[in-house]
Amino acid sequence: MQQVDKPSDEDRQQASQKNIDKMWKFVEKFAEKSGSYLHPQRDVTEFLVIGLAKHIDEVGRPLCPCNFYEDKAEEAKSSEWICACDEMQKYKYCH
């Protein structure tokens, strides 16, 4: 398994600590309830959590940081959430 860089303080400062904490609780509870798994490398999950928290700070919703959005604000108005990640669909863990 390829190791990824650890999130830096600069990475963590992209989002509020309040929303980072909120997203950690969310992803851990989601994995527990859904029968899915967090990535085996916690640093990968931390990057995801930072991205989710950053989107909450920016547009009020935890948009998946893996996707590109032409208009984040417009996407945030949508009530749909479909994870297109192959890992989640096939292996039941979020990268």
Q: Which pLDDT score is estimated for 12?
A: 93
Q: How, if at all, do strands 37-38 and 93-94 pair?
A: parallel
60 token code pair: 């009020």
Check the CA dihedral 18-15-83-79 and report its sign: positive
pLDDT tens per residue across span 15-45: 999 999 999 999 898 888 888 888 889 999 9
pTM, whole model, 2 decimals? Answer: 0.82
Task: Provide the annotated active-site residues.
Answer: 66
Question: Mean pLDDT score of the chain, rounded to an integer?
Answer: 85
Contact 19, 55 (CB under 8 A): no
Q: Which pLDDT score is estimated for 5?
A: 85
For the domain made up of 15-94, give the CATH fold: Ferredoxin Thioredoxin Reductase (3.90.460)
Most confident stretch, 24-28, 33-37, 61-65, 67-71 = 24-28
CA distances from 37 to 18, 28, 89 (A): 23, 9, 11
User: Could you state, in order of their start, the residue ranges of all structural domains in the chain?
Assistant: 15-94
